[in-house]
């Protein structure tokens, strides 16, 4: 007998014991078949009514009872000629079987079976999770690389080709991404080449502009200046010939002479604005001081001027660009800022020179100005930024509505020194 099986007994319908097998060495209480418990007596007394298996729990044992059924016949000979529905199954009990097992051993086996089931189930789950992870990772890894590639591409970074081993929708998506990436790389190269050409063209235009300004300045100074000087000399000659006997005509000549003097001053200012000869003659510091003094005199604005010794640090072309940036900054202040004070400071450091122009005017929204179209925001700020780029300098504008504007320029020493 198997371990844990204590007894197996067969009874007839009268409750008589027909056969019994038991494990040797069990206690007399378990061996006895005569001293039945009350429950057993009730079961044996109602064998005919038992139609399904059941069990009885005791302190140390479990008894399993099951009826022994017999009987199978047809309803009649004629039923052989009909389908299966004509067969009638008649089962009737002819006895009962009782199997007694050791409850502790059964519990131990059940516990072991449960542990093995848990172990097998856990192992199956782990294997399943591992398989799912491999499958999901095989799907999500290419998607992750695609996501990272799109993010990096959006930030302007360099993206290598994304390879996908499977031949599915993700493979087609990766192929489309690689095609787009290559196309963007080619367009980026073309854009950089175009930007380089535009930078070169812009630089050449600014240089040509300076040449044209210098030519116009010389013509204005030589032609108009000389003609106005000659006109003033003739007016003074006429004034001397008139004498005192025609006071009204003499007075008219004096007023005309003063008007010619004012015109000469304007012509000289326009000539210097177009091409400041003082920049070549006396250097950048003197040219900036003259520029600020002229601006303060015309606009009646209070200006503080603090400039370190920067003469001799830059080439003539660099000095011209710095002068033009300062000139454009003052022009913008005069046109738009409505300021009453300006601070202009130039500070020399160990490896760079910084320019700062600040005003207390009404300010503006820098973001709004930068977002405007090119033909809407004018050429002033763009020209300043382009000249700063030509110098390899850092150019920055900060402004708030009602709080004035600051223009910062930082040029490394050595870039055009």
Q: What CATH code is carried by the domain that includes residue 345?
A: 3.30.565.10
Q: Are residues 295 and 244 in the same domain?
A: no
Sign of the Cα torsion 14, 20, 22, 25 reads positive
- Looking at the predicted structure, is the pLDDT value of residue 34 above 60? no
Comparing C-alpha atoms, which of 104, 89, 79, 98 is closest to residue 19?
Answer: 98
Asked if residue 116 belongs to a domain, the reply is: no
Residue where a domain terminates, one of 249, 275, 301: 275
- Looking at the predicted structure, is the pLDDT value of residue 375 above 60? no
Q: How many independent structural domains does the chain possess?
A: 3
pLDDT at 161: 67
pLDDT at 111: 86
Q: State the average pLDDT over residues 402-415.
A: 87
Q: Are residues 104 and 64 in the same domain?
A: yes
Tell me: the pLDDT tens digits for 351-360? 899 999 999 9
- Looking at the predicted structure, is the pLDDT value of residue 211 above 90? no
- Looking at the predicted structure, is the pLDDT value of residue 342 above 90? yes
Tell me: the pLDDT tens digits for 166-181? 666 666 777 777 777 7
Residue where a domain terminates, one of 85, 110, 135: 110
How many other C-beta atoms can be found within 10 angstroms of the C-beta atom of residue 331? Answer: 13
Q: Which domain holds residue 94?
A: 5-110
- Report the chain's mean pLDDT, rounded to a whole number: 78
pLDDT at 339: 92
| Triad 5, 8, 12: Cα angle to 5° | 165
Q: Are residues 362 and 330 in the same domain?
A: yes
Q: Chain-centre distance of CA 164, in angstroms?
A: 25
Whole-angstrom distance, CA of residue 317 vs CA of residue 346: 18
DSSP string, 160-172: PPPP--S-SHHHH
Asked if residue 153 belongs to a domain, the reply is: no
Asked if residue 138 belongs to a domain, the reply is: no
Asked if residue 284 belongs to a domain, the reply is: yes
Give 184's contacts (C-beta < 8 A, 6+ positions apart). Answer: 153
Strands 341-348 and 352-359: antiparallel
More confident residue, 41 or 17: 17
DSSP state of 399: E
Question: If phi over 0 gives left and psi between -120 and 50 gives alpha, with beta otherwise, what is residue 88?
Answer: beta
Asked if residue 243 belongs to a domain, the reply is: yes
pLDDT at 304: 92
Strands 341-348 and 302-307: parallel
**Could you tell me what percent of the chain has a pLDDT over 70?**
79
Q: Are residues 231 and 255 in the same domain?
A: yes
Under the banding of pLDDT at 50, 70 and 90, the label for residue 78 is: very low
Q: Are residues 213 and 311 in the same domain?
A: no
pLDDT at 217: 74
Asked if residue 239 belongs to a domain, the reply is: yes
Under the banding of pLDDT at 50, 70 and 90, the label for residue 89 is: very low
pTM for this prediction: 0.51
pLDDT at 33: 41
Q: Which long-range contacts (CB under 8 A, 24 or more apart) does 151-157 make?
A: 153/181, 153/184
Asked if residue 12 belongs to a domain, the reply is: yes
Q: Are residues 283 and 408 in the same domain?
A: yes
- Torsion angle, alpha carbons of 320, 322, 323, 325, to 10: 120
Asked if residue 290 lies in contact with residue 273, where contact means CB atoms within 8 angstroms, the answer is no
Q: Are residues 281 and 380 in the same domain?
A: yes
pLDDT at 147: 72
Tell me: the pLDDT tens digits for 90-141? 567 788 888 888 878 877 888 888 888 999 999 998 998 888 877 776 666 6
pLDDT at 81: 45
Asked if residue 411 lies in contact with residue 391, where contact means CB atoms within 8 angstroms, the answer is yes
Q: Are residues 410 and 355 in the same domain?
A: yes
Q: Are residues 67 and 175 in the same domain?
A: no
Q: State the average pLDDT over residues 309-315.
A: 86
pLDDT at 326: 92
Give 61's contacts (C-beta < 8 A, 6+ positions apart). Answer: 6, 30, 100, 101, 102, 103
**Could you tell me what percent of the chain has a pLDDT over 90?**
12
Whole-angstrom distance, CA of residue 339 vs CA of residue 357: 12
CATH number of the CATH domain containing 13: 3.30.450
Which of the listed ranges 12-16, 160-164, 302-306, 412-416 does the model predict with the highest average pLDDT?
302-306
Dihedrals phi, psi of 111, to nearest 5 degrees:
-65, -45
Q: Are residues 344 and 241 in the same domain?
A: no
Asked if residue 232 belongs to a domain, the reply is: yes
Q: Are residues 271 and 294 in the same domain?
A: no
pLDDT at 11: 86
Q: Are residues 193 and 230 in the same domain?
A: yes
More confident residue, 283 or 88: 283
- Looking at the predicted structure, is the pLDDT value of residue 9 above 90? no
Q: State the average pLDDT over residues 59-87.
A: 61
């Amino acid at each position: 007998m198997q371990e844990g099986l204590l007894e197996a007994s067969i009874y007839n319908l009268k409750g008589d014991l027909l056969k019994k097998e038991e494990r040797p060495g069990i206690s007399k209480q378990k061996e006895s078949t005569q001293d039945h418990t009350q429950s057993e007596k009730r079961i044996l007394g109602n064998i005919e009514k038992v139609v399904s298996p059941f069990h009885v729990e005791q302190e140390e044992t479990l008894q399993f009872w099951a009826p022994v059924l017999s009987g199978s016949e047809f309803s009649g000979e004629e039923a052989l000629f009909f389908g299966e529905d004509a067969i009638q199954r008649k089962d009737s009990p002819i006895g009962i079987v009782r199997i007694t097992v050791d409850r502790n051993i059964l519990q131990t086996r059940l516990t072991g079976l449960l542990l093995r089931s848990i172990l097998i189930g856990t192992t199956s789950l782990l294997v399943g999770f591992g398989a799912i992870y491999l499958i999901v990772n095989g799907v999500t890894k290419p998607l992750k690389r695609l996501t990272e590639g799109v993010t990096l591409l959006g930030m302007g970074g360099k993206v290598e080709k994304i390879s996908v081993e499977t031949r599915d929708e993700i493979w087609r998506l990766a192929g489309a991404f690689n095609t787009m990436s290559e196309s963007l790389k080619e367009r980026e190269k073309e854009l950089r080449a175009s930007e380089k050409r535009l930078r070169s063209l812009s630089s050449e235009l600014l240089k040509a502009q300076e040449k044209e300004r210098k030519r116009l300045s010389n013509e204005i100074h030589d032609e108009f200046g000389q003609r106005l000087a000659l006109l003033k000399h003739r007016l003074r000659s006429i004034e001397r010939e008139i004498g005192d006997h025609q006071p009204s005509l003499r007075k008219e000549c004096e007023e005309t002479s003063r008007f010619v003097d004012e015109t000469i001053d304007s012509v000289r200012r326009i000539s210097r604005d177009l091409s400041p000869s003082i920049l070549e003659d006396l250097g950048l510091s003197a040219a900036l001081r003259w520029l600020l003094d002229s601006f303060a005199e015309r606009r009646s604005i209070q200006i503080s001027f603090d400039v370190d010794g920067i003469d001799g640090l830059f080439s003539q072309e660099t000095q011209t660009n710095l002068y033009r940036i300062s000139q454009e900054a003052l022009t913008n202040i005069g046109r738009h800022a409505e300021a009453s004070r300006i601070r202009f400071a130039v500070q020399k450091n160990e490896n760079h020179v910084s320019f700062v122009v600040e005003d207390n005017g009404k300010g503006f929204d820098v973001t709004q100005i930068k977002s405007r179209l090119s033909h809407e925001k004018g050429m002033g700020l763009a020209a300043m930024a382009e000249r700063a780029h030509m110098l390899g300098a850092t150019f920055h504008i900060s402004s708030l509505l009602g709080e004035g504007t600051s223009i910062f320029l930082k040029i490394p020493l050595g870039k055009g020194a």
